[in-house]
């Protein structure tokens, strides 16, 4: 799948926030590398999520394919408490359908993981075009506005590299339940402008449930 070419804007990349799904297409704008639909999980969805985390069981479900019934059935078969997972499965299926529609693709890569620690603790950019992330439990992903980034420090750490974080006070965090599109370095025309982000460190005994989607 090819994504649209963009022309680099003179201004630094920006973030767009809104309370409805209409905010997500903002990711196609040249000057936007983060689009976030803010939301709170409704009580039935939050209860279903909590049920999946009641037992300290490994959860690492992955899917690549279409977004129809087969996806929902496969997910349901991998959850620890399928009898209480209806709202969660429905929510993930709807997000997958929205992602497929937005990027005009029939194939979605999906990952739902229970995390006990930070998966990617160093600030970095993704080399892919775009990724959707949403945290169902625990702290949301952390990201940096451009003013707080030292891009020369990105990549594998070396003694001669600066810290990619210029200002620790500028670290931003997505909320639990937010749906966010992160534009990466692989988006045509976005080289050197991918969103800088990292995984948060959950508190001891506070598992994180993370959903990540890649189109195509």
- Listing DSSP states for 78-145 in one string gives HSS-GGG-HHHHHHHHHHHHHHHHHTT-S-EEEEEEEESS-SS-S-B--SSSEEEEEEEESPPPEE--
Q: How far is CA 20 from the centre of its chain?
A: 17
Q: What is the pLDDT of residues 44-101, one digit of tens each?
A: 999 999 999 998 889 999 999 999 999 999 999 999 999 999 999 999 999 999 999 9
Domains and CATH numbers, the chain: 26-215 (2.60.120.10)
Please write the tens of the pLDDT for every residue from 106-124.
Answer: 999 999 999 986 666 789 9
* Whether the Cβ atoms of residue 106 and residue 100 lie closer than 8 Å to each other: yes
Q: What is the pLDDT of residue 9?
A: 44
Q: Helix, strand, or coil here: 75?
A: helix
Going 42 to 137 to 193 to 148, the CA torsion angle's sign is positive
- pLDDT(8) > 50: no
Whole-angstrom Cα distance, residue 149 to residue 196?
Answer: 8
């Amino acid at each position: 799948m090819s994504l649209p070419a963009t022309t680099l804007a003179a201004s630094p990349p920006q973030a767009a926030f809104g309370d409805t799904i209409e905010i997500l297409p903002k990711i196609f704008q040249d000057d936007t590398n983060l689009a976030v639909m803010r939301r709170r999980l409704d009580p039935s969805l939050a209860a279903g999520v909590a049920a999946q985390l009641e037992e300290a069981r490994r959860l690492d479900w992955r899917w690549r394919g279409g977004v129809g019934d087969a996806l929902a059935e496969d997910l349901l078969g991998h959850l620890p408490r399928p009898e209480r997972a209806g709202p969660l499965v429905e929510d993930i299926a709807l997000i997958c359908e929205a992602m497929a529609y937005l990027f005009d693709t029939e194939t979605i890569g999906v990952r739902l993981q229970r995390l006990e620690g930070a998966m990617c603790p160093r600030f970095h950019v993704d080399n892919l075009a775009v990724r959707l992330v949403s945290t169902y439990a625990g702290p949301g992903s952390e990201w940096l506005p451009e003013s707080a980034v030292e891009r020369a420090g990105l990549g594998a750490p070396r003694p001669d590299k600066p810290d990619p974080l210029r200002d620790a006070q500028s670290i931003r965090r997505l909320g639990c339940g937010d749906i966010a599109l992160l534009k990466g370095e692989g988006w045509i025309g976005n080289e050197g402008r991918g969103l800088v982000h990292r995984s948060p460190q959950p508190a001891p005994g506070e598992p994180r449930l993370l959903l990540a989607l890649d189109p195509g």
